[in-house]
Amino acid sequence: MENNIVLNIQNVEKTFGGLHALNNVNLSIEEGKVHAIIGPNGAGKSTLLNVCIGRLPPDSGTVSFNGENIIGKTPYEINQAGIARVFQTPEIFSDLTLLQNVMIPAFARRDGAFKLNPFKAMSAEREIEGEAEQVLEEMGLIEHKDNHAGSMSRGDKRRLEMAMCLVQHPRLLLLDEPTAGMSRHDTNRTIETMQKIKEGGMTKIIIEHDMHVVFSVADHISVLAQGAIIASGTPEEIKGSPVVQEAYLGGAHL
């Protein structure tokens, strides 16, 4: 693809009543990179992700994934195209085991044809169970595979949700506040997990308030304030930007 751009957001606008949540947002997400989006509360970060996954229609503008405009597609269609998202609040099946949680999206990735044939279904289940166990191993959760998801710590629930996304083999992974509410221990373990995912070359967009997390994993950072991109650059460029320091931390250094 030209310039290796996986996701191209052009002139996106979104209003809620009198609130201009997104104001002519333009972003290009390069393949294989970790692109962080930061900004104050209410800046429009989660709204932007919701537009990208089809949960919210923009008032205007385009979002292209792999060169195809995905505005108007359903969240399911966008997920099937190769975009997965980890939400602010872990969306897991609390009453199921970790292994079952990871197997469900793996099954959903299939076209479903095997369900018409019980022999294919059994073969597919064995294959998917092995795949789910491998992902849980990579996330450091394999020893808990038979535990109910609802009994896990917040950090482990967040890593479980990452596993549920990774088993779908997405081309683009969106992480919305992946360390929100975590202890420092769980945050550090999550950073290690994200760095491991980064080494695999998957393209990622991260929304995060913890600057330690951002500067630990991001290749590129864009800053949203009042619905508009006010700065974009490398972590070092963002750290030294007076505009960013004023808008994001009231003039304090990042």
The residue-averaged pLDDT of 48-77 equals 95
Residue 157 exposure: Cα atoms within 13 Å on the Cβ side: 21
Q: What is the DSSP string of 157-197?
A: HHHHHHHHHHTT--SEEEEESTTTT--HHHHHHHHHHHHHH
More confident residue, 243 or 58: 58
- The pLDDT tens digits of the residues spanning 19-43 come to 899 999 999 999 999 999 999 888 9
Q: What is the DSSP string of 69-95?
A: E-TT--HHHHHHHTEEEE-SS----TT
The residue-averaged pLDDT of 153-164 equals 89
Look up the pTM and report it.
0.86
Task: Flag whether pLDDT at 200 surpasses 90.
Answer: no
What is the C-alpha separation between 132 and 32, in angstroms, rounded?
23
96 secondary structure, DSSP code: S
Task: Flag whether pLDDT at 222 surpasses 70.
Answer: yes
What is the C-alpha separation between 23 and 139, in angstroms, rounded?
37
Question: Sorting pLDDT into bands at 50, 70 and 90, what band is 250?
Answer: low
More confident residue, 125 or 220: 220
Task: Flag whether pLDDT at 11 surpasses 60.
Answer: yes
The residue-averaged pLDDT of 111-128 equals 58
What is the C-alpha separation between 127 and 124, in angstroms, rounded?
5
Domains of the chain: 1-73+211-254 (3.40.50.300)
Task: Flag whether pLDDT at 213 surpasses 70.
Answer: yes
Compute the mean pLDDT over every residue in the chain, rounded to the nearest whole number: 87
Q: What confidence score (pLDDT) does residue 239 get?
A: 86
Token output for 146: 């038979």
